[in-house]
Amino acid sequence: MNYNDLRNAIDRVGQVPCESAPDLMFHEEGSLATINSKLSKIICSNCPIINECLQYALDNDEIYGTWGGCTPQERKRLKKAAGQHSRLVR
């Protein structure tokens, strides 16, 4: 999935929850990182395109932020478990 595919998915549903709180989606290391990570996952849990978002992050090796309800570390584990060329979400 490329950026245009993701953008089309967003346009199809109108607005996605993370657009109202982008700073929570890209959290730095430190004391607020754990809180922001948990909050970003809550935001993602209400998203109608959570699967498309996760697939975009996996396909494009996004290394920052929460995408599709997964942190960078979680996405790394998913890719490792599935193999580099497997598609996890369809």
pLDDT digits (tens, 9 = 90+) for 47-66: 999 999 999 999 999 999 99
DSSP readout, the chain? --HHHHHHHHHHHS--GGGG-HHHHSPPSSHHHHHHHHHHHHHHHT-TTHHHHHHHHHHTT--SS-BTTB-HHHHHHHHHHH-TT-----
pLDDT digits (tens, 9 = 90+) for 30-45: 777 788 889 999 999 9
Asked if the model's pLDDT at residue 7 lies above 70, the reply is yes
pLDDT band at 90 (very low <50, low <70, confident <90, very high): low
- pTM attached to this predicted model: 0.85
